[in-house]
Every structure is written in structure tokens, then in C-alpha cells.
């Protein structure tokens, strides 16, 4: 993919007064537009976090502890944002994070980010709780890179079925999310009495699964609420332990990543249990209130992993500077979450593409202005801790 950061930038400048009518540029504007466009409950579902919201805020604030320290007089005419993970070259150092139940944000649901990702060459991680089935998403994405995120079900047969379906549909890695065996205490959703799954949204993979459907007393068409409750019960997998991770490891030939790690001891355990990649994440502050920020967790996890497997991170990434800071602290790549969710709510596929393009342009400009020409040149020497 050819990157044209200056072109994107100049196009915006040359729009003149028209620019005001265009789509937003900054994260805050996207969030604001989404707030105005969506009903309170779906907006709150994306915006909301666990408890006091401290973890969510802490994720964002953590980036302020670090400053970029640029070098000058470096030739940065040619720039390279590409990275390699599991032997695959990706054009930029970010992926789209798994975000479930997208039909609450846009009628196209997960097809909107899937198409935007495919057109930009950015890998897309499809959520287990997508409203659109993984097969439909795969069909829309053609040969483009996609990973499948799994909330490990209690039922091993269902686990095998999801893994098998993802492999058959051309997903090239499995991301097991381990920080959400229970739903966090989300006060916005409680206040709005809003759990979209209960109306069948976010059930695209469950309601099309032969193993899942074979265990229902009544079909989802007949009794959507009971079917949804059964799916949620599968996901409330509080007996999930490292042994269960071994089961998943044994039943997929795909690279396996574990998402939701913030403690270096867990990173070591995950490595010992055969994962191929770690995603440092606290679910965007939606699970454990008062938890450590992911940027603060990243250095010790990278230290304990010693480059044996890739360490990715998410939670709080809003702009190019954040991406560079995370990479400087040892991340191989980052995941973009809420920024694309808001953009999808505002303008569907076009909105997500806009966010992706702006992030690419901004990251590339940031890289060059900080005196580096390649993501490979980004290391600890680029940042300084100020707080």
C-alpha cells in the first residue's frame, strides 16, 4: 500500500470552508458527533466503562507521562510504517480491535469496519459477539487479513465449532479474550437498562452455530431472549483457567493470541502455555474498575517476554503520538477500538476508512517529524518519561 500522508493532509487544508461540513478529524469530534447521532443507550454502551471510569481515564492519561524526544537533520523522505507479525507483513502498526454488537451503531454492523479494513489493508479482528456471522464477514473481506476473537465458551464442543468455523472461513489467527469471563459493572448500561444481546444483536455467530443451536430448547427465531441468555451464560466462563487455554491451543493450528493481560506473571504463564502473541489490554477500562493502565503495564510485560513472541497493546490509543509511544515502549503493534466505533456510528464504512486514513497519515507524519523513517527505528530513545 502506498501511503500519502501529505496528500491526505493537503486535501483537508484545501477544502477550505467546506472542511467544516466534512467528517470529523480528531477523536473528540468523532465522539461528539456519535453522541449527537446515536440514542443515549447505544452511545453509552461504547462510551461507558466499569465503575467510576477510572481505568478508562487512566488508560488515556498514561500517555501523558511520556513525551517524544525528536531527532533532527535526519533524511525522512522515504518512510515505512510496515511491521511483520507471524511472518505476515502489515502496512501499518495497528489493527482494528474486536468490538462486538455493531448493529447498535450502524445498520451494516461488522461489515462496515470489515470493508474499511479490507480496503486499507489493515487487519480486522472480528468479535465473537458480532451481529453478522463470521462467514458473512469473511465473504465480504475476500483475501484480506482477518483474525477471530473468541470469548471462550464453557462448552468444549462449541469452542471447537467456533475454532473450526473461523479456520474454514480464512481467519488467520485466534484471539482469546480472558479479561471478560464476567461482565464488568457498567453503570451507564445499568442506568439505561441496556444489554443489546437480549434482543438478539451480537449473536451472529451463536445463532448460526450448529452446536449451539442443537442445545437450545427453542430456536432463536422462536425465543430470542432464551437463546441470547444461553449464549451469555456460555460466555460467563468463570471456570476458565490455563488448562482451558491448553484445550484451545490443542484445537487450533492457527497462531493463538491472548487478550486481556496486564500482569507480567500472566504474560509468562501465557508463553509457557504456548500462545503465539500477547495483547496487553484492560478492555478499554470496561471490566475492572481501578485497574492499572495498559501503557503502564507494557514495559514490564515486554521485559518478561524478551521478544520471544509479539506483544500488542490496546486501551487508550487515540492518535499517532500514542501509537509511537506504545511502540517505543516495546509493543509490536496496537489495536484501535473506540475511535473506529464512533466513526462507524457517524458514517459507517466511510467513517471507519476516514479514521484509518487519518491515523496512517498522522502516524507517518509523526514518525518523520520525530526524525525516524521507519517503525523499526522506533525504540526507547524516542521517548522520555516526564511524570
CB half-sphere exposure, 343, CA atoms < 13 A: 27
- Please choose, from the candidates 70, 23, 4, 2, the residue with its C-alpha nearest in 3D space to the C-alpha of residue 362: 4
Cα dihedral sign, 161-166-169-170: negative
What is the DSSP-derived secondary structure letter of residue 335?
A: E
Buried b (16+ CB within 10 A) or exposed e, 68-86: beeeeeeebeebebbbebe
Question: Shortest Cβ distance from residue 341 to ligand FMN (Å)?
Answer: 6
Task: Please give the residue ranges that form the binding site for ligand FMN (CB under 6 A).
Answer: 45-46, 97-100, 127, 129, 149, 177, 259, 281, 283-284, 286, 314-317, 335, 337-338, 341
The residue among 355 and 368 lying less far from ligand FMN, judged by its C-beta, is 355
* Residue whose C-alpha cell reads 509490536 in the numeric block: 332
Other Cβ atoms closer than 10 A to 177: 23
Beta-carbon count within 10 A of 2 CB: 5
Count Cα atoms within 13 angstroms, Cβ side, for 173: 27
Q: Is-catalytic flag, 273?
A: no
Which CB sits closer to ligand FMN, 141 or 368? 141
Q: Which is nearer to ligand FMN, 144 or 281 (CB)?
A: 281
Spot the catalytic one: 106, 164, 273, 283. Answer: 283
Residues 6+ apart with CB under 8 A from 68: 321, 324, 325, 328, 366, 370, 382, 383
CB of 183 to ligand FMN, least distance (A): 11
In whole angstroms, the minimum distance from the beta carbon of 38 to ligand FMN comes to 12
> In this structure, what DSSP letter does residue 81 have?
-
CB of 336 to ligand FMN, least distance (A): 7
264 vs 281, beta carbon nearer ligand FMN: 281
Nearer to ligand FMN, 204 or 220 (CB): 204
Q: State the minimum distance, in angstroms, from the CB of residue 235 to ligand FMN.
A: 10
Give catalytic residues, as residue numbers. 283
Amino acid at each position: 500500500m502506498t501511503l500519502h500522508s501529505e496528500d491526505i493532509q493537503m486535501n483537508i487544508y484545501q477544502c477550505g470552508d467546506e472542511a467544516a461540513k466534512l467528517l470529523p478529524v480528531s477523536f473528540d469530534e468523532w465522539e461528539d458527533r456519535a453522541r449527537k447521532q446515536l440514542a443515549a443507550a447505544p452511545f453509552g454502551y461504547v462510551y461507558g466503562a466499569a465503575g467510576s471510569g477510572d481505568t478508562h481515564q487512566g488508560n488515556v492519561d498514561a500517555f501523558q507521562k511520556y513525551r517524544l524526544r525528536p531527532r533532527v537533520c535526519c533524511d525522512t523522505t522515504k518512510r515505512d510504517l510496515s511491521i511483520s507479525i507471524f511472518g505476515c507483513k502489515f502496512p501499518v502498526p495497528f489493527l482494528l480491535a474486536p468490538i462486538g454488537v455493531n448493529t447498535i451503531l450502524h445498520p451494516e454492523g461488522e461489515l462496515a469496519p470489515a470493508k474499511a479494513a479490507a480496503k486499507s489493508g489493515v487487519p480486522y479482528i472480528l468479535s465473537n459477539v458480532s451481529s453478522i456471522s463470521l462467514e458473512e464477514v469473511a465473504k465480504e473481506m475476500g483475501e484480506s487479513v482477518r483474525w477471530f476473537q473468541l470469548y471462550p465458551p464453557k462448552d468444549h464442543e462449541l469452542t471447537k465449532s467456533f475454532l473450526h468455523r473461523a479456520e474454514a472461513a480464512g481467519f488467520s489467527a485466534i484471539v482469546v479474550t480472558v479479561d471478560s469471563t464476567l461482565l464488568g459493572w457498567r453503570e451507564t448500561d445499568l442506568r439505561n437498562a441496556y444489554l443489546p444481546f437480549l434482543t438478539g444483536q451480537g449473536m451472529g455467530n451463536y445463532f448460526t452455530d450448529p452446536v449451539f443451536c442443537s442445545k437450545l430448547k427453542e430456536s432463536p427465531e422462536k425465543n430470542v431472549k432464551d437463546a441470547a441468555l444461553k449464549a451469555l451464560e456460555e460466555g460467563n466462563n468463570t471456570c476458565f483457567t490455563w488448562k482451558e487455554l491448553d484445550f484451545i491451543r490443542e484445537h487450533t493450528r492457527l497462531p493463538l493470541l491472548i487478550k486481556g493481560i496486564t500482569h507480567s506473571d500472566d504474560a509468562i504463564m501465557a508463553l509457557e502455555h504456548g500462545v503465539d502473541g500477547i495483547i496487553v489490554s484492560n478492555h478499554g477500562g470496561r471490566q475492572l474498575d481501578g485497574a492499572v493502565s495498559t501503557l503502564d503495564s507494557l514495559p514490564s510485560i515486554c521485559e518478561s517476554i524478551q521478544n520471544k513472541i509479539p506483544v500488542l497493546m490496546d486501551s487508550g490509543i487515540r492518535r499517532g503520538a500514542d501509537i509511537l509511544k506504545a511502540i517505543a515502549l516495546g509493543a509490536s503493534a496496537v489495536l484501535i477500538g473506540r475511535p473506529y466505533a464512533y466513526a462507524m456510528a457517524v458514517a459507517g464504512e466511510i467513517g471507519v476508512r476516514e479514521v484509518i486514513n487519518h491515523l496512517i497519515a498522522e502516524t507517518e507524519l509523526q514518525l518523520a517529524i520525530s526524525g525516524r523513517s521507519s517503525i523499526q527505528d522506533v525504540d526507547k530513545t524516542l521517548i522520555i518519561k516526564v511524570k
